[in-house]
Amino acid sequence: MDDTYTAAPRPKVAVTEVGTRDGFQSEPTFIPTATKAAIVDALIAAGVRSLEATSFVSPRAVPQLADAHEMLAVLQRRADAHIAALVPNARGAERALGAGVDEMVCFVSASETHNAKNLNATIEQSLGHVAEVAAVASGHPVAIRGAVACAFGCPFEGEVPVDAVLRIVDAYARLGVDRLSLGDTTGMAVPPTVSRAVLAIRERHPGMRIALHFHNTRGVGLANVMVGLDLGVREYESSIGGLGGCPFAPGATGNVCTEDLVYLLEESGFDTGIDLDALIGVAKRVEQVIGRTLPGQVMKAGPRLRRYEADAVRRAVG
């Protein structure tokens, strides 16, 4: 009788890094192109295999990402690293195709007011732009992901009904888009709103791949991740060091932190394929580039089983 014990494989969870796009876009001081590329390369070396690396929006609207094509051109591209870029319209899609991205991310807000602020268009007009992007991508080996901004609340309109989210998801589905990201643009998501949105989408579009993109504005980003895990969601978007925040939404602060997310997932029995120690090293490097303390916690405390020499810590006396 063979008594050899074989541990069951851990369920895999995909983590998409958005720091060099969602994180850097709000930084007022231009970050050199080579520095951006070096950070993406370091993230890939740490095991990150999905990155929303930059954005092909108007350079006037987001000057920090005006070097999108140049940055992608100097990356150390590898076949197993999936590089995505945000594209708002057909012109952006053409530029992204020229840069050789693996995936184009389109985005529409579930809030009419936020959509006007973020995209200078109505929701209907933005959905028309997504159709144009799909037409540009047709016939090319590039995936399209549809993102829904303000999926869990809007800083201008308050509660966002699930029907408003479904309106966008339905339009994506009609265009053949089967990859979806639900964006918590200003950190308004709480466990009940996450459950309602995910379950409603699953009921109407059971084949849709859902990723969750939380901000930690009110400190419940990882609690929302746990809800997503319980619902079977296995894709999450996060930002190195906790960088980020929509420049067109008041009160928006950083994304859920990548190294904090990876720590939670790995300690909860999931497999991300990412080296946490290496990721912490990248976070510290980004902190130096940005020039201020970042909100990530694990980059400060280290892994749970980190050990210290007892003699190096002073003894309480008194």
Bridge partner residues of 209 (DSSP) = 179
Q: Report how far apart the first and last C-alpha atoms of the chain are (Å, whole number).
A: 61
Residue 269 CB neighbours (<10 A): 10
Residue among 150, 154, 246, 257 flagged as catalytic: 246
Query: Amino acid identity, residue 17?
Result: E
For 125, the 3-state DSSP assignment is helix
| pTM of the shown model | 0.93
Nearest to 229 by CA among 214, 243, 244: 214
User: What was the pLDDT predicted at 250?
Assistant: 56
Cβ neighbour number for residue 318 with a 10 Å cutoff: 2
Rounded Cα distance, 265 and 278, in Å: 16
User: What SS3 state is found at 17?
Assistant: strand
* Packing angle, helices 258-267 and 276-290, rounded to 10: 160
Domains in the chain, CATH or no CATH each: 14-312 (3.20.20.70)
pLDDT at 248: 54
Burial of 177 (0-12, 13-18, 19+ CB in 10 A): buried
153: Cβ–Cβ under 8 A, 6 or more apart, which residues? 159, 160, 184, 186, 188, 189, 193
Nearest to 26 by CA among 217, 202, 211, 253: 253
Question: Measured between alpha carbons, how far is residue 128 from residues 89, 131, 171 in Å?
Answer: 9, 5, 10
Q: Are 179 and 209 in contact (CB under 8 A)?
A: yes
Strand ranges inside 228-286, DSSP E = 235-238
Active site residue 246: yes
What is d(CA 79, CA 98) in angstroms, rounded to the nearest whole number?
A: 18
Task: Round to whole Å and give the CA distance between 113 and 105.
Answer: 21
Three-state DSSP class for 209? strand
- For 286, half-sphere exposure in the C-beta direction (CA atoms, 13 angstrom radius) is 31
Per-residue pLDDT of the chain (318 residues; tens, 9 = 90+): 556 666 778 999 999 999 999 999 989 999 999 999 999 999 999 999 999 999 999 888 899 999 999 999 999 999 999 999 999 999 999 999 999 999 999 999 999 999 998 888 999 999 999 999 999 999 999 999 999 999 999 999 999 999 999 999 999 999 999 999 999 988 999 999 999 999 999 999 999 999 999 999 999 999 999 999 999 999 999 999 999 865 555 555 689 999 999 999 999 999 999 999 999 999 999 999 999 999 999 999 888 877 767 776 677 765
Nearest Cα neighbor of 58 from 111, 157, 114, 129 is: 129
Residue 285 region, left (φ>0) first, then alpha (ψ -120 to 50), else beta?
A: alpha
- Cα angle 278, 34, 285 (rounded to 5 degrees) comes to 30
